[in-house]
Chain A
Amino acid sequence: MMHIPCPWCGARDENEFVCGGTSHLQRPALDVSDEVWGAYLFFRDNPKGVHLERWRHVHGCGQWFNAARNTLTHEILSVYRMTDPVPQ
């Protein structure tokens, strides 16, 4: 069971949260080609390692936030706000 550090509530059990998938996806302009639109909708890096993703503390404060989490070890390296830039 992961303990996820919600930026507002502190560390809580993972079953209080839902994962919202990959973060920092930028919607392209509406007149792009089908290839670019398909890449935006469906194609993902799906890394084995650090993944930047959205979480929501659905059974807590209800807030969305970003997490940098390792998909192999489940270690959470950092959490940051939705509007923060991609961490280095």
Chain B
Amino acid sequence: MKYSAWSLLRGALGGHRQWPPAWRDAAPKPRYDVVIVGGGGHGLAAAYYLAKNHGITNVAVVERGWIGGGNTGRNTTIVRSNYLYPESARLYDFSLKLYEGLSQALNFNIMLSQRGQLMLAHSRHDLDSMSRWANAMRMNGIQAELLSREAVAALAPVIDLSPQARFPVLGAFMQRRAGTARHDAVAWGYARAASALGVDIIQNCEVRGFINEGGRCVGVDTARGALRAERVGIAAAGHSSVLAKLAGFRLPVTSYALQAMVTEPLKPLLDTVVISPSTGAYVSQSDKGEIVIGAMLDLFPSYAQRGSFAVTQAILAATLAIFPSFSRLRLMRQWAGIVDVVHDSSPIIGPTPVPGLYINCGWGTGGFKAIPAGGWTLAHVLATGATHPLAEPFQLGRFVSGRLVDEAAASGIAH
């Protein structure tokens, strides 16, 4: 069923009782062309693009819990493409461009709001590094601009710009096309569009092993039986190492908890995303009015989806130093997602040491913004067996050759 103003009106006349489920909750079949492990944004997007771009519709997405319940539901919903190196700029800007057309493509409102992102400079050194950063982006054909202190004051008066501020703001750099998107809508939009094209979405179906015949991966063993497939893809973020171990190889990945939190809702007071890399504050206001606060990593390996209180305290202190007026707000929720951090903070999208098994991982703290591109490029390698040109720099082989794409500086959060 196509969503439109007309269908909404018809729904209203019928008391909104006639809406069918957005997607089919499928039971597993014994044989597929492609099985994708992980029903988050990346896995669902890969399934959609397999069907849409490559005409491969005999596809299953198997998810241990419920779709979008992992990191897709645990991020700060920021989308941007402010990366330093040409390889990353191409990949992430391709992702942002797909986001810009995604509501139309999926016929599902992902509530993309390109409200821009301000990155604050608190010192002369910050100003220097931000002009380098903005220039690198412009060299890669991505719009970026440097803003004066006065321009920051006009855009976000809620920031403490007084002379006695603990962290004085000297200026900022801005990507105006950056913004936020509704995280659940991204997962559900891809799920609905993929399901409509024939993809099976199988929830509550944990993968317990990979079927290996003659050294080749030919399917997965799950809690709901064996699913055989020509090719298998993994899109499991922080749990990639756990799945890799089942398949018999290791990854250059360490899993950390990355936490975030929201306050009680307020009237609109901040219509842009604000990052202060030197302090770690990462703040936006949701459409519902909550102040969404992102943190830096808990810097020890963790699979606990809760986050350390020590980091919660540190990030709230940093946020209040930039936004003193938030000090009376109450926190409504706090949570953590388990992120897959790679040494160079760049992803891995391509074949694994096991023939027939492919992986999309290593997005670390920035997977949400990359969902369309991660799905697109994973679908390409699953369908054709050939690496997508955008994904060529992001292969496992770079950890042997030493050709890293070191974006550790670009994520805006210290790794």
What residues of chain A have their CB less than 8 Å away from a CB belonging to chain B?
Answer: 1-2, 13-15, 18-19, 21, 34-35, 38-39, 41-48, 51, 53, 71-74
Q: Can you sample 13 A-B contacts with CB below 8 Å?
A: A34-B400, A34-B402, A38-B399, A38-B402, A42-B343, A43-B251, A44-B252, A44-B253, A45-B245, A46-B253, A53-B301, A71-B304, A73-B304
B326 adjacent to chain A (CB < 8 Å): no
Q: Which residues of A contact B114 (CB under 8 A)?
A: none
Q: Report the Cα distance A15→B303, complex, angstroms.
A: 19
Binary CB contact string for chain B from 312 to 346 against chain A (1 if under 8 A, 0 otherwise): 00000000000000000000000000000001000
Query: Quick one: closest B residue to A19, CB to CB?
Result: B300
Report the bound CA distance from A14 to B298 in whole Å.
Answer: 11
Give 20 A-B pairs besides A1-B309, A47-B241, A72-B304 with Cβ atoms closer than 8 angstroms. Answer: A2-B308, A14-B310, A19-B300, A21-B254, A39-B250, A41-B343, A42-B399, A43-B251, A43-B252, A44-B250, A44-B254, A45-B241, A45-B245, A46-B241, A46-B254, A46-B255, A48-B255, A53-B301, A71-B301, A72-B302
Chain B contact residues, CB within 8 Å of chain A: 239, 241-242, 245, 250-255, 299-304, 308-310, 343, 399-402
Contact assessment for B310 and A1 in the assembled complex, using a CB-CB cutoff below 8 Å:
yes
Do A72 and B303 contact each other (CB < 8 Å), given the known contacts A42-B399, A46-B251?
yes
Chain B residues whose C-beta falls within 8 Å of the C-beta of A34 in the assembled complex: 400-402
Identify whether the interface residues of B are mostly helix, strand, loop, or mixed: mixed
**Chain A residues in 8 Å Cβ range of B252:** 42-44
B310 and A53 form a contact (CB under 8 A)? no
Contacts of B255 in A (CB 8 A): 46, 48, 71
In the bound complex, residues from chain B placing their C-beta under 8 Å from that of A14 are 308, 310
A51 pairs with B301, CB closer than 8 A: yes
A-B pairs with the 8 shortest C-beta distances? Answer: A42-B252, A19-B300, A46-B241, A38-B400, A15-B310, A42-B399, A43-B250, A72-B303
